[in-house]
Amino acid sequence: MTLGIMKTIMTSDWKRPGRKILLASQSPRRREIMGQMGFAFEPVVPNVPDEDSFLDANDIEPSIRRLAFAKAESVAKGNPGALVLGADTIVRCGTAVLGKPRDAVHARGMLDLLKGRPHMVYSGIALVCVDARFSESAVEKTTVFVRDIDDHEMTEYIDSTDYRDKAGAYAIQGRAMVFISRIEGCFYNVVGLPIEKTISLFKAYLSRKDSADV
């Protein structure tokens, strides 16, 4: 390992990779996390039709990785000089894969499935730069335990509409926090962007860049 690579890994240079950073996501939660991590970035809406077609309950980690790549690549094609971060988060409970609910009835069905039992939250992330011929990805998994939720609590929550645009019909940092008894793994993964894995992708880019410069 060269001195240049050692310096990159042992400092916070991953925040300043020397290229424009684009976040291929519509999620305000991911934008907030990226800002809190210290990145200067621009959000861009990815163009990936029929996202559900990527997901396979029997092959969940590769499929969420492919979806994250598809989102990153859809933005990277028109921005070849930028580093583009794509991400997606899903919930798996048993053999059921839960995305975002269509409406209140769909949301209630999701929460009825989740209550009183553990489920898994998966986030796939991918970092792509066309000009640098760089593409790396990662998957984070967190186990979330939801307590039993009575009908009154459920109705009150659904009426708040806080379930909208949330994988599994809840946000751990929102009103649904009172339903969570504990988690095992990365909290920010459940919010929508695993911090350690995100840093690792930017470090991988910088390490390869430094190797090429030697």
**Residues noted as catalytic:** 88
Chain-centroid distance, C-alpha 134: 19
Contact 164, 116 (CB under 8 A): no
Q: How far is CA 122 from CA 116, 158, 200, 213, in A?
A: 19, 24, 17, 35
Cβ atoms within 10 Å, residue 8: 21
Closest by CA position to 57, among listed 96, 101, 106, 87: 96
DSSP state of 23: E
